[in-house]
Amino acid sequence: MDEGALLKVIQSKYEALRAGMNEAVRRRWAAAEAIAMGSKGARLVAQATGLSLPTIRRGMRELKQGIPLEVYRARRPGGGRKKATARDETLLADLEALVDPVTRGDPTSPLRWTCKSTLKLAEELHNQGHGISAHTVGEILHRQGYSMQSNRKTHEGAQHTDRNAQFEYVNARVKEFQGRGSPVISVDAKKKELVGDFKNAGREWTPKGQPPQVRAYDFVDKELGKALPYGVYDVGANEGWVSVGVTHDTPAFALATIRTWWLEMGVVRYPKAKELLIIADSGGSNSARARLWKVELQRLADETGLRMAVSHLPPGTSKWNKIEHRMFCHITHNWRGRPLESREVIVNLIGSTTTAKGLHIQASLDMADYPTGIKVRDDEVEALKLKRDDFHGEWNYMLLPK
């Protein structure tokens, strides 16, 4: 049989068997064929199958030495190419530093989003000395809990011209405070929850045929009312505090929650702190334009002696707040499918929320009355020891203790 015909025979055998062979079996089969054909066998098999000569010769050595075939493992334990993050020790930290300022999360999902493309991230990492492709960047982000952006509740309307610049400024400010060992907290109000035997989205394991019985209509129970959770998330310590209010979500309630966090958790972890950085969105009870928010901040600064620095996220970007995708989403996941039958149940479910990365939350019920419509006089505003930053002083400022 001439060489051309022999190549066709080998190739037809290989195509018929290759789908059922793993790497080790493929190597041994090619070696057996090469040995059967004599001195030119390795070259002919390589030409017909596309396998490399070193691979075929390795199989021939294994057959000659009588090494048993490991059917269920193609490589020895520990073999194969190492992950990019294992080969490059600083790659993961540098990637997280690039995406952290522009990371956001869906309050109903523990996944995170980033608006930077993998191509752009790979280019920036390459400029920092990392040889990495956009595909590998995508794989690393997926392993770190990032997902493709959802098309639900992400339309943020017209964006401010300095939106991205504010994100970068906030990120730099956070690093500055953490570099000095000062606490950095992210604050926000979670959505109001109906208290009572109302349907709660999600599913839980229950005895077959015995689902929890809930009301057919979501009319507010006049006795139980609604629960208003307001949270404080310690960015550096991965722990938080949630106060569950019963009246109104006001700046006074927000600052009362921050005060409680400081007395119960903050002062214990940061006994030598002289300053506190608060990251908040631009609306609601912690609005950048709310006079009462600043007046209450001044009171807290006077009580604690702390310099109260505040950075607001640009308007329409509340879902980018750390507390949303590092604390609130886990609380929602923890009580999925469970009717929030009482305020005590809500507090207990919040306080029992944990994650594999060590999230720890404390919670309490705040029965105080926080009325709305409180007017702040001009002289109260003028008396504030308010120091605005040069960059967007309406978003970045500090209240100094008197």
C-alpha 340/C-alpha 197 separation (Å) is: 6
Q: What is Dmax (Cα atoms) for the chain?
A: 105
pLDDT (0 to 100) of residue 70:
65
Closest by alpha carbon to 319, among 44, 42, 91, 112? 112
Q: CB under 8 Å to 92, separation ≥6 — which residues?
A: 85, 140, 144
Q: CB under 8 Å to 156, separation ≥6 — which residues?
A: 316, 317
Name the token pair of 268: 């214990």
pTM above 0.75, yes or no: no
C-alpha 322/C-alpha 142 separation (Å) is: 19
Considering only residues 297 and 139, tell me which one the structure prediction assigns the higher pLDDT.
297
Tell me the average pLDDT of the chain. Answer: 85
Determine the 3-state secondary structure of 388 from DSSP: strand
pLDDT (0 to 100) of residue 55:
92
pLDDT (0 to 100) of residue 154:
46
Name the token pair of 309: 């620095």
pLDDT (0 to 100) of residue 111:
44
pLDDT (0 to 100) of residue 313:
93
388 DSSP β-pair partners: 397
Q: Which CATH class is domain 164-399?
A: alpha beta
105 DSSP β-pair partners: 112
Instruction: Dump pLDDT digits (tens) for 182-233.
Output: 999 999 999 898 888 777 776 665 566 666 666 766 677 777 889 999 999 9
Task: Give the confidence band of 305 by pLDDT, cuts at 50, 70, 90.
Answer: very high
Instruction: Dump pLDDT digits (tens) for 329-353.
Output: 899 888 877 788 889 999 999 999 9
pLDDT, average across residues 286-312: 96
Instruction: Dump pLDDT digits (tens) for 159-183.
Output: 678 888 999 999 999 999 999 999 9
pLDDT (0 to 100) of residue 103:
59
Specify the pairing of strand 396-399 against strand 307-312: antiparallel
Instruction: Dump pLDDT digits (tens) for 17-32.
Output: 888 888 888 999 999 9
The three-point CA angle 16-21-25 to 5° equals 120
Q: Return the amino acid letter for 378.
A: D
Q: Which helix (H) or strand (E) holds 268?
A: helix 267-269
Sign of CA dihedral 149, 150, 154, 158: positive
Task: Give the confidence band of 108 by pLDDT, cuts at 50, 70, 90.
Answer: very low
With contact defined as beta carbons under 8 Å apart, do 24 and 69 qualify?
Answer: yes
Task: Judge whether residue 105 has pLDDT over 70.
Answer: no
Name the DSSP letter for residue 247: S
With contact defined as beta carbons under 8 Å apart, do 102 and 115 qualify?
Answer: yes
Domain edges within the chain? 3-65, 84-143, 164-399
pLDDT, average across residues 136-144: 85
pLDDT (0 to 100) of residue 147:
65
C-alpha 314/C-alpha 179 separation (Å) is: 24
Task: Give the confidence band of 316 by pLDDT, cuts at 50, 70, 90.
Answer: confident
